[in-house]
Amino acid sequence: MISAPMAEPASASKMEKIVALCKRRGFIFQSSEIYGGLNGAWDYGPLGVELKRNLKDYWWKCMTQLRDDIVGFDGSILMNAAVWKASGHVDTFSDPMVECLLTKKRYRADQSEPQSGTAYYYTVQKTVQDGLTEFVGSRGDFPTAYGGSHYHFSVLVPKGKSEASANKVARQYYAQIGLPDEVALDAQTSEPVENTIKFNPENGAQLSEPKVFNLMFKTYVGPVQDDSSVTYLRPETAQAMFVQFKNVLEVARKKLPFGIAQIGKAFRNEINPRNFTFRSREFEQMEVEFFVKPGTGPEWLEKWKEDRLAWYEAIGIPRAKIHVLTVPDADRAFYSQGTYDLEYEFPFGVQELEGIAHRGDYDLKQHQEASGKPLEYFDEETKQKYLPEVVEPSAGVDRTVLALLCEAYAEETVKDEESGKEETRVVLRFAPRMAPVKAGIFPLLKNKPELVATARAVQKLLQPLMKVSYDEAGSIGKRYRRIDEEGTPFGITIDFETLEGAKEAFTSATGTPIQAGQKDTVTLRHRDSMKQERIAIADLPGYLARAII
């Protein structure tokens, strides 16, 4: 194959293509698909689970193996409800929600796009027909969000659209609340409005007043379902690490600064899950609670920002694609004394991958007060007891998997050497350490037992070291194309030169010379360049292990 210049897919359709590829190749499926799905929940298929595992393993390795100031931890998802009261989640972990009065769909009030146009305000006129309820209204303020009667209604139509289109929406609304068609319906008044967020952008219908909605999933522990058995599915992994701070400190025998790392599921009853897995109701987090001496939080916040940026580069997300947002005071979580959001250029916009927050001593103080148990650190040097400050890099597993998929996805026009035809090659250019499968192994022909036996032997050789695949179906070009779509960085083909000896002397992929006639070499095909070279089978484990570490 010869490659032609890369064609970058347009971003709107790029996301659709990625979603389709994820299903086609078994990265991500909709949860409960055969029952119509469950909004905000996703299943990872055979390739997706490998990708996700590689990501988590690498994070774990970087946090707990390559440094000696962080220890690992795995807390339970269900915790005593007192934890969530003390942490502030019961009282404040909420989003403002609005509801479309027509469709009843719910939206995050703080994420509405401001719109402009003409607002038409309706009331229902007195009817004259017998037996019908009388509805009389006049223009008033927006009706109360819930429980109030909605005889007032309004519709926003964009500039250039007629009153008739507003009437249509209003008519649907009044029909839905049970008013007969005969009721006279006129816009009582209208006015131009600018930058309003009081209407549903999808249909122009009036939205309810914002209502506070707690995002935690409530559940009951044990057989009795009353207030005393209520708890919540954890909305972040962090709290268990605060609550167990003292226990971990004692066994880890660490001095400050030191951290606790955890990877695990978190649950949030998001009002509006969207953008594929980006905003889900069930997701995984990779969090470190890094405990530092009082006063040193700001400098550790800077260090963690740099560490995390370098980490994203190491998994194949270039620095240039990550935007560092210094979260403004007004937007920071109330416990935070400083937060950076690391945002990635997703096809649907620049959005948060990870938050790095200086949480001060808020959490330990809250749990110390609420539990009555001391959580202070005794500083051997100064002989003082104090509550450490905490810097928390908190990354989303699912969002990072999505970023890896978006970053890796590429389409290019290539010419098939046999047919001469141009075709589109879809390739996932994962960094080898993230790739779900590291090498595809192919006997050139499936009906030549010696080729198949050697290919199986190569598979056995590599399996203990890495995830490989074996494929003997179809032409070799098709098989390469399949592993390109799966993001497998290396193809290994066992061909006649493997059995009969190299046709001529050459320098192998490792740089070592291979003599003409030397047996047991294979074709090594590189996913990104599509370059092919030969390598001795004996050199494969070392060469590939170095490439994927």
Strand 322-326 to strand 282-292: parallel, antiparallel, or no bridges (unpaired)?
A: unpaired
From the CB of 279, what's the least distance to ligand GAP, in Å?
Answer: 5
Looking at the Cβ atoms of 283 and 304, the one nearer to ligand GAP is: 283
From the CB of 331, what's the least distance to ligand GAP, in Å?
Answer: 11
Looking at the Cβ atoms of 356 and 435, the one nearer to ligand GAP is: 356
Binding site for ligand GAP (CB under 6 A): 236, 238, 268, 270, 279-280, 283, 285, 287, 352-355, 392, 394-396, 398-399
SS3 at position 293: coil
Q: What is the DSSP string of 376-421?
A: PEEETTTTEEEPPEEEEEEEEHHHHHHHHHHHHEEEEEEE-TTT--
Looking at the Cβ atoms of 72 and 477, the one nearer to ligand GAP is: 72
Looking at the Cβ atoms of 32 and 515, the one nearer to ligand GAP is: 32
Which residues are bridge partners to 356 per DSSP? 340, 393
Short-list 519, 507, 526, CA closest to 440:
526
From the CB of 238, what's the least distance to ligand GAP, in Å?
Answer: 4
Helix axes 397-408, 46-60, angle to 10 degrees: 110
From the CB of 396, what's the least distance to ligand GAP, in Å?
Answer: 2
Q: Is the peptide bond before 158 cis (omega within 30 degrees of 0)?
A: no
Looking at the Cβ atoms of 51 and 437, the one nearer to ligand GAP is: 51
From the CB of 395, what's the least distance to ligand GAP, in Å?
Answer: 6
Q: What is the DSSP string of 435-454?
A: -SSSEEEEES-TT-HHHHHH
**One-letter amino acid for residue 179 of the chain:** L
Q: Distance between CA atoms of 155 and 102, rounded to whole angstroms?
A: 10
Q: Distance between CA atoms of 95 and 101, rounded to whole angstroms?
A: 19
Backbone angles phi, psi at 501, to 5 degrees: 105, 150
At a CB cut-off of 8 Å and minimum separation 6, what does 488 contact? Answer: 435, 436, 437, 438, 439, 440, 469, 527
From the CB of 400, what's the least distance to ligand GAP, in Å?
Answer: 7
Which residues are bridge partners to 493 per DSSP? 442, 523
Looking at the Cβ atoms of 169 and 233, the one nearer to ligand GAP is: 233
Q: Are 121 and 152 in contact (CB under 8 A)?
A: yes
From the CB of 254, what's the least distance to ligand GAP, in Å?
Answer: 21
Looking at the Cβ atoms of 137 and 396, the one nearer to ligand GAP is: 396
From the CB of 273, what's the least distance to ligand GAP, in Å?
Answer: 7
From the CB of 233, what's the least distance to ligand GAP, in Å?
Answer: 13
Looking at the Cβ atoms of 184 and 330, the one nearer to ligand GAP is: 330
- When CB distances to ligand GAP are compared, the closest residue is 396
Looking at the Cβ atoms of 94 and 125, the one nearer to ligand GAP is: 94
Q: Distance between CA atoms of 527 and 311, rounded to whole angstroms?
A: 23
